[in-house]
């Protein structure tokens, strides 16, 4: 194991050269040993009795052109998410939802739009206005809008964006088995574009998509190699949705989730590790184990974009029962300053980049696409 004072670690104790073998060895430790090590790291860098609570808003639902095998928002699959409901939320609706989340105890609002990438134009201008509005309400604001250019990232930063979410999803090798409409390099490039601003990075992945343990480890290698490491790392357990190519995936066992959280905590000691999708299937005891193992952030609220999530009041009762304090906004990083549109240094460049379009096909994704086409003929 590497000495924390060696050349491959930063002065803050984070290492950026973890190997797949090291991470697999950590993941496979006897559980009590793994929990002890992860909890020790967690206590060194974080208050073990505090959790950051985020609320997720789907500002534009469904009709996405991508073919992510796990996602009901893809226009290619026959799911309960209907494209006719795909209008953007208004700024006033977003403000009302933000105030509701704030009064319930959330410190961050994360806005998701079912887009492949950001295109300059009226919808992006509306998102920028939403960011300004939420930041002025003294709430952390995060966006997940797909791939973005450096100029688009700068415009979001000026508006007051606190964090940008762009998940790596899985390992680079297994990514090709899940998504054929964009490349892993596109994900890394977007994170690099965000890093050129003062916006914090939120990036994690999903387990339970049929990947091997080596893929989970390689995803953690990719995340921990980023310098700096993401400030926030969501760990999602797949929620299989009817109509998607992964609808019949086996549920993720609680021990896998605990091991993944603990391993992420050890290799990314300063990041906030977020318990994301899949909490509905977890008992409160299972969630408490994840908190002990180093999870210190959750998404709370009725829906996680398009999958069920525990009610925020239920979450608050659970955290209270565990004696966990809810973090206030801007505890870990200062609040960004909002620059009004009229005073912005960065302006629309009319960008609509094509990004990468890989040429391979994923048969199970194509099959679900054919099912939808057949049902509509």
Catalytic residues, by residue number, are 64, 68, 71, 110, 142, 202, 274
Report whether the peptide linkage leading into residue 228 is cis, meaning its omega lies within 30 degrees of zero: yes
> Residue 156: exposed, middle, or buried by beta-carbon count in 10 A (0-12, 13-18, 19+)?
buried
Exposed, middle or buried: residue 69 (CB in 10 Å: 0-12, 13-18, 19+)? buried
Q: Which residues pair with 163 in a beta bridge?
A: 142, 200
CA–CA dist 316, 345 (Å, integer): 41
Instruction: Say whether 30 sits in a helix, a strand or coil.
Output: coil
User: Which residues, listed in sequence order, are joined to residue 9 by a DSSP beta bridge?
Assistant: 15
Place of tokens 């977890």: 282
Q: How far apart are CA 57 and CA 107, in angstroms?
A: 13
Residue 110, helix vs strand vs coil = strand
Owner of token pair 């959280």: 261
């Amino acid at each position: 194991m590497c000495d924390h004072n060696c050349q491959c670690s930063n002065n803050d104790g984070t290492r950026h050269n973890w190997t797949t073998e090291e991470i697999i060895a950590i993941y496979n430790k006897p559980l009590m040993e793994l929990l002890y090590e992860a909890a020790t790291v967690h206590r060194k860098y974080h208050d073990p009795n505090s959790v950051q609570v985020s609320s997720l808003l789907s500002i534009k639902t469904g009709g996405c052109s991508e073919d992510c095998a796990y996602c009901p928002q893809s226009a290619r699959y026959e799911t309960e998410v209907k494209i006719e409901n795909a209008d953007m939320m208004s700024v006033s609706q977003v403000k009302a939802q933000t105030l509701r989340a704030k009064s319930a105890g959330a410190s961050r609002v994360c806005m998701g739009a079912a887009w492949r990438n950001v295109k300059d134009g009226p919808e992006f201008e509306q998102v920028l206005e939403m960011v300004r509005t939420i930041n002025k309400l003294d709430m952390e604001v995060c966006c997940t809008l797909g791939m973005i250019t450096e100029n688009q990232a700068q415009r979001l930063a000026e508006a007051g964006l606190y964090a940008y979410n762009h998940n790596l999803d899985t390992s680079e090798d297994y990514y090709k088995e899940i998504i054929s409409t964009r490349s892993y390099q596109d994900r890394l490039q977007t994170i690099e574009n965000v890093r050129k601003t003062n916006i914090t990075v939120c990036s994690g992945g999903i387990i339970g998509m049929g990947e091997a343990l080596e893929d989970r480890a390689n995803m953690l290698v990719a995340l921990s190699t980023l310098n700096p490491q993401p400030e926030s790392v969501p760990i999602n357990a797949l929620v299989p949705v009817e109509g998607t190519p992964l609808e019949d995936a086996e549920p993720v066992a609680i021990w896998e989730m605990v091991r993944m959280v603990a391993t992420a905590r050890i290799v990314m000691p300063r990041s906030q590790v977020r318990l994301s999708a899949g909490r509905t299937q977890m008992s409160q005891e299972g969630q408490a184990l994840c908190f002990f193992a180093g999870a210190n952030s959750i998404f709370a609220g009725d829906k996680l974009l398009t999958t069920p999530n525990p009610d925020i009041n239920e979450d608050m009762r659970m955290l209270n029962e565990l004696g966990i304090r809810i973090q206030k906004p801007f505890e870990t990083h200062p609040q960004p300053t909002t620059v009004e549109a009229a005073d912005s240094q960065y302006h629309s460049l009319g960008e609509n980049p094509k990004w990468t379009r890989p040429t391979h096909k994923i048969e199970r994704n194509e099959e679900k696409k054919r099912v939808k086409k057949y049902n509509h003929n």
